[in-house]
Chain A
Amino acid sequence: MKLRALSVSEINKYIKNTLESDPIISYVAVKGEISNFKLHSSGHAYFSLKDDNSKISCVMFRSDLMKCTVDLAEGMAVEISGNISVYERDGRYQLYGRSVKQVGLGDLQQKFEALKKDLLQLGYFDQSKKKVIPHFVDRVGVITSPTGAAIRDILSVARRRNPKVELVIYPVRVQGDQSCEEIVTALDYFNTLEDIDVIIVSRGGGALEDLWSFNERPVAEAIYRSRIPVVSGVGHEVDFTISDFVSDLRVPTPSAAAELVIKPLEDMRFELRQKSETLSSRMESRLKLERRQLLMYNERNINSIDRKIQDYKSRLQRLGVSLDTLSPLKTLDRGYAVASVEGHLLDSVEKVKVDDTVNITLKDGEIKARVQEVEVKDEPIV
């Protein structure tokens, strides 16, 4: 029997029609690992799907790729749905993928990836949208379970660092059906208050299912619309939730959230003490300089400068009082006393006469004393 020879085009077309008329091949899902992945500049993706023994060429067009919730990558285990057809020019059959599902991941992980991708595109995670966490806070809103480990950790860190910062707990369930709704209500409620400086959303670690409320879209949206900065401390170091991505700051644990929001009171005291000492010493050295200059002027031109000196002297006196209030313990503790008459610091016996009342300030109180005698020394003591 003599066969009529077909052209290459004819046979390829025939095979194509045969394949396309097969009900299974025209809509099929194939699972395998992506290899030889190439994203063409046209936006179409070309790759192979393979298992241990075999492989098949795949193509996904740009329009289908855009709709897909996972980012294809080399080595990824996927299930691709589409149809198999022949690329006539090369005589090659291939899978034309329409949709992709990542396999080896549970449904929740799929949902997580899908929401993450969606919110990313909506700009929910943009750095530019992140609100600044204030340096110092007065009232912190805490959204968590009132009985969980998270609240205990947060409270103990907060009390230790600065018990003067007020914590306001909005109790919520942190897992289960009502959890998502309660967290949203809590976020929105705090935003109706005027005096909440920052919100901590928190719960302890757990499986993906346990942390699920923090991966729900309504929670993400509530965090995104919060005008108050939100710090998310959910789970342990390794757990990431959608809340973490949307929040203004993600910290690894509930304790870390409290540490980040509340500055230690001790550090603040230390800093302030240092500043007050610097302030005093700067002024003191400035005054020394000024005294030296005044003495120089004095020698050169006593009369014309005399009034100015008097003026400065009285200022120096007032300043002396200020320096003492700044660090009164320094001098008084050593047993020195500050004497004053009618609010003016006493620095010369010439400023008192017999029967004047002198106020003497010691480290633990004040004495009112009456002057009995005034004695001028010929040689100054100091």
Chain B
Amino acid sequence: MSQSFKSYEEKIDALSEIIRSLDGGNVDLSASLEKFQEGVDLFKACNEILNQAEASVKIIKEVNNQYIEENFEE
């Protein structure tokens, strides 16, 4: 599952790393452009994760020795 908060950390870290690498200008322009494009893609991916649909609360029930998850009603 790529659309997960778990994968978010890795992406945001990679984005920070790209921002760091763009600082200074030691890297040549064409590499910088590639990095930038990579950064834009990471931003989009992160944004998508933050915009995912809300999750429901589940409760586990045991039915005939099988565990099932049902929506939890408060």
Contacts and interface: CB of A to CB of B under 8 A. Distances in A.
Nearest to A268: B50
How many B residues touch the partner, as a band?
A: 35 or more
Contacts of A136: 5-6, 8-9
Contacts of A282: 19, 22-23
Contact of A319 (B8, B33, B69, B74): B33
B29 A290 contact: yes
Contacts of A326: 40, 43
Nearest to A269: B50
A87 interface: no
Interface stretch (A90-98, A203-211, A270-278, A366-374): A270-278
B59 A171 contact: yes
Contact of A135 (B9, B19, B39, B55): B9
- Report whether over half of chain A's contact residues are helix, strand or loop; otherwise say mixed: helix
A62 interface: no
A163 B54 contact: yes
How many A residues touch the partner, as a band?
A: 35 or more
A189 B5 CA distance: 23
Interface string B2-39: 00111011001001101100110100011011001101
B3 to A, nearest CB: 9
A171 B57 CA distance: 13
Contacts of A315: 29-30, 33
Nearest to A141: B60
Interface string A137-162: 11000000010000010010000001
B54 to A, nearest CB: 4
A146 B72 CA distance: 9
Contacts, number: 106
B63 interface: no
Contacts of B23: 282
Contacts of B54: 163-164
B6 A137 contact: yes
B50 A272 contact: yes
B18 A279 contact: yes
B4 to A, nearest CB: 5
A309 to B, nearest CB: 12
Interface of A: 134-138, 146, 152, 155, 162-171, 189, 197, 265, 268-269, 271-272, 275-276, 278-279, 282-283, 286, 289-290, 312, 315, 318-319, 322, 325-326
Interface of B: 1, 4-6, 8-9, 12, 15-16, 18-19, 22-23, 25, 29-30, 32-33, 36-37, 39-40, 43-44, 46-47, 50, 52-60, 67, 69, 72, 74
